[in-house]
A = this chain, B = another copy of it.
Amino acid sequence: MQSGTRTVNIGIIGLGTVGGGVYRLITTHAERYRKNLGVDLRIARACSRSEERARELDIDRGRFTTDWRDVVSDPSVDIVVEVIGGEHPATEIFEQSFSAGKYVVTANKALLGRHMEELATAARAAGVQLRCEASCGGGIPIVDTLGRDLSGNEIITVAGIVNGTTNYILSRMAEEGLGYEEVLADAQRLGYAETDPTADVDGLDAASKIAILSSIGFATRITADDVHAQGIRAVCAQDIEVARELGYAIKMLAIAHRTESGIDVRVHPAMIPASHPLAGVSGAMNAVCVVGDAVGETMFYGAGAGAFPTASAVVGDVLALAEPLSAGTQALPEPEPFKRELAIRSIRDLSTRYYVRVVPDGANDARSCAEEVLERHGIAVGQALTLEDGSVALVTEAVREGDMADAIAEMTSAEGAPCEIANTIRIEDVAAWTEGVEAN
């Protein structure tokens, strides 16, 4: 059982931002891992489509390849690190690695967000592990925390800020009073947003992440397709300003909450109390709240992206696998995943308070006409603010989404819409996140 008896060989596929970070982290820290952890890590193979990248990272010809098959078929490789992202050839890399008895460490949220159950099952069938700490929350240890440290709990809620790009945009809009488009352009220039920002700003990236986290937390199968996702494009500076007056911050949240009628899982901008810990998370940082019935409310905060934070998560996974390999044994396969059958609740069944901003038009009084339509749908208005430009911000009492959708449809219907809705934003009931925690 003496550890450190054999070298553990890593094959990295993908040498982009994350892959380069992983390469650099392992290379510069190898001596530390040997001395402190008794683990001798060696990058046996590294693969990228760009030979230029191999030169940049100073990877010698003998270890570098442009064909991922060279990595997966190399008998010396124990652990394959897949950091190319996307569905193909990542799926094939996973399958062939498992067939060859190799462990896989990945940051591929898009693939896992759709196919985590099949991939975890395939890993288990092959007697190996698939680890994905880096797929959610960048450097924050949240996957492992949910799946292991908090596994004594019945998880009630997983909710947080899991997309750095949208948090960066909303934070700067809030801090500088700027508009969405302006901040997006700046974020693109600074590298915080991609040229095609769709996956981030429309909530698809966050949907993949909350699918992964909720699958693990609730031990059930949830995919990105199960997640109601709505982006931040419609949020404007005025909404943020009004939110502040009402005591709220607007954050792009990913929420998975267990209710008696099923899992409520969604991604959308929401108002949360300015005093809530998530409200203080700014810039490209991420934070995830986990509520368990025993542990109560916890929060995990850190950098949600970036070469080295993400590499920290990847290498953490690599070391977890390498320790037993290094000692001459094996990391056990994970238990059979997601055994529990839990229903996914329709977004129409969610009950939430709403912020509704209504713009006056010549013919109608915005406020009375909006209130009239809302009341007709059984929606009570709890608070109303008339804004400087004459538009009106209404805060409803808790309302079923379906009723709200119907009311909005009526207000904005083509034939003689009685008033113009500038925006609606959910006001998240954060107190509901902790319902069901054991009293101490």
Interface set of A (CB-CB < 8 Å, partner B): 1, 3-4, 21, 25-26, 29, 32-33, 35-39, 127, 133, 139-141, 144-145, 148-154, 219, 277, 280, 292-303, 306-309, 311-316, 318-320, 323-324, 327, 329, 332-333, 335-336, 339-340, 437-438, 440
CA distance in complex: A293, B336 (Å): 35
Using A35-B340, A145-B141, A335-B38 as known contacts, say yes or no to A295 and B307 having CB atoms under 8 A apart. no
- Inter-chain CA distance A33–B313, complex, in Å, is 27
The closest CB in chain B to the CB of A335 belongs to B38
Instruction: Specify which chain B residues have a CB less than 8 angstroms from the CB of A302 in the assembled complex.
Output: 295-299
Q: Which residues of B sit under 8 angstroms from A26, Cβ to Cβ?
A: 152
Q: Which residues of B contact A440 (CB under 8 A)?
A: 21, 306-309
Closest CB in chain B relative to A349 CB, distance in Å: 25
Chain B residues near A148 (CB, 8 Å)? Answer: 144, 316, 319-320
Q: Which residues of B contact A149 (CB under 8 A)?
A: 133, 141, 144-145, 313, 316
A35 vs B220: C-alpha distance when bound (angstroms): 11
Whether the Cβ atoms of B319 and A294 lie closer than 8 Å is no
Partner of A298, one of B21, B300, B315: B300
Q: In the bound complex, what is the Cα–Cα distance between A333 and B38 (angstroms)?
A: 12
CB proximity of A275 to chain B, nearest CB, Å = 8
- Determine the residue in chain B with the shortest Cβ distance to A220: B36
For the complex of A and B, list the 8 residue pairs with the smallest distance between their C-beta atoms, beginning with the closest. A152-B315, A141-B149, A298-B302, A139-B295, A295-B312, A306-B440, A36-B219, A294-B312
What would 10 A/B residue contacts be, using CB atoms closer than 8 Å? A139-B296, A152-B318, A152-B319, A277-B277, A294-B315, A299-B299, A299-B301, A308-B440, A323-B335, A324-B332
Task: Determine how close the nearest CB of chain B comes to the CB of A79; give it in whole angstroms.
Answer: 13
* Separation of A314 and B149 alpha carbons in the complex (Å): 9
Q: How far is the CB of A315 from chain B (nearest CB, A)?
A: 3
Please measure, in the bound complex, the distance between the C-alpha atom of A335 and the C-alpha atom of B35, giving whole angstroms: 10
- Measured in the bound complex, the distance between the Cα atoms of B149 and A91 in whole Å is 25
Q: How far is the CA of A307 from the CA of B139 in the complex (A)?
A: 30
Which B residue sits closest to A303, measured CB to CB? B296
Cβ-defined contact, B294 with A139, below 8 A: yes
Contacts of A145 in B (CB 8 A): 141, 145, 149
Q: B339–A36 contact, CB under 8 A?
A: yes
Instruction: Report the bound CA distance from A296 to B292 in whole Å.
Output: 27
Q: A296-B309, A301-B277 are in contact. Are A141 and B152 (CB under 8 A)?
A: no
Query: Which residues from chain B contact A303 at a C-beta distance below 8 Å?
Result: 295-298
> Whose C-beta in chain B lies nearest to the C-beta of A324?
B332
Q: Within the complex, what minimum Cβ distance (angstroms) separates A284 from chain B?
A: 10
Given A301-B299, A320-B148, A323-B332, the answer on whether A294 and B308 have CB atoms closer than 8 Å is yes
Q: Write the chain B residue with the least CB distance to A137.
A: B298
Task: List B contacts of A32 (CB < 8 A).
Answer: 154
Contact status B1-A127, CB under 8 Å: yes
Bound together, the chains give a CA A424 to CA B193 distance in angstroms of 46
A239 to B301 CA separation, bound complex (whole angstroms)? 30
A335 & B299 in contact (Cβ 8 Å cutoff): no
Contact (Cβ within 8 A) A295 B280: no
Residues on the B chain within 8 Å of A21, using CB: 294, 440
Nearest chain B CB to A141 CB, angstrom units: 3
- Name the residue on B nearest A138 (C-beta): B295
**Closest B-chain residue to A24, C-beta based?**
B438
Residue of B nearest to A318 (CB): B152
Closest residue on chain B to residue A191 by CB atoms: B440
Give complex CA distance A295, B142 in Å. Answer: 13
- Pairwise interchain contact A152-B339, C-beta atoms closer than 8 A: no
Which residues on B sit within 8 Å (CB–CB) of A39?
335
Q: How distant is the Cα of A314 from the Cα of B313 in the complex, in angstroms?
A: 24
Nearest-neighbour CB distance to chain B for A22, whole angstroms, equals: 9
Residues of the B chain whose Cβ atoms lie less than 8 Å from the Cβ of A296: 139, 302-303, 306, 308-309
